[in-house]
C-alpha cells in the first residue's frame, strides 16, 4: 500500500489528477475486498463452530 500512496503523491504533484483518482479507486476496491475476505473468514469459522456444536449435542443425546 505504501507504493500506491507514493504513486498517488507523484501523480498529484505532476498534475496527473485522473491517474491519481484511478489509483484511489483501486485502493478503495482493495479495501472492500479485504473487508469481504474478513467477513468470509469469520462466517466459515462460525459455521465450523456451529457444526461442531450440533455434532457434540447429538453425541451427548
Spatial separation of the C-alpha atoms in residues 29 and 4, rounded to whole Å? 13
pLDDT band, residue 1 (cuts 50/70/90): low
Q: DSSP state, 16?
A: -
pLDDT band, residue 27 (cuts 50/70/90): confident
Q: What is the pLDDT of residue 43?
A: 92
Q: Which residue has the cell 449435542?
A: 57
Q: What is the largest CA-CA distance in the chain?
A: 71
Whether the full predicted model's pTM is greater than 0.85, yes or no, is no
Amino acid at each position: 500500500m505504501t507504493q500506491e500512496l507514493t504513486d498517488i503523491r507523484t501523480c498529484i504533484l505532476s498534475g496527473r489528477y485522473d491517474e491519481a483518482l484511478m489509483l484511489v479507486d483501486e485502493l478503495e476496491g482493495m479495501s472492500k475486498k479485504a473487508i469481504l475476505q474478513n467477513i468470509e473468514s469469520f462466517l466459515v469459522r462460525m459455521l465450523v463452530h456451529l457444526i461442531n456444536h450440533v455434532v457434540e449435542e447429538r453425541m451427548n443425546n
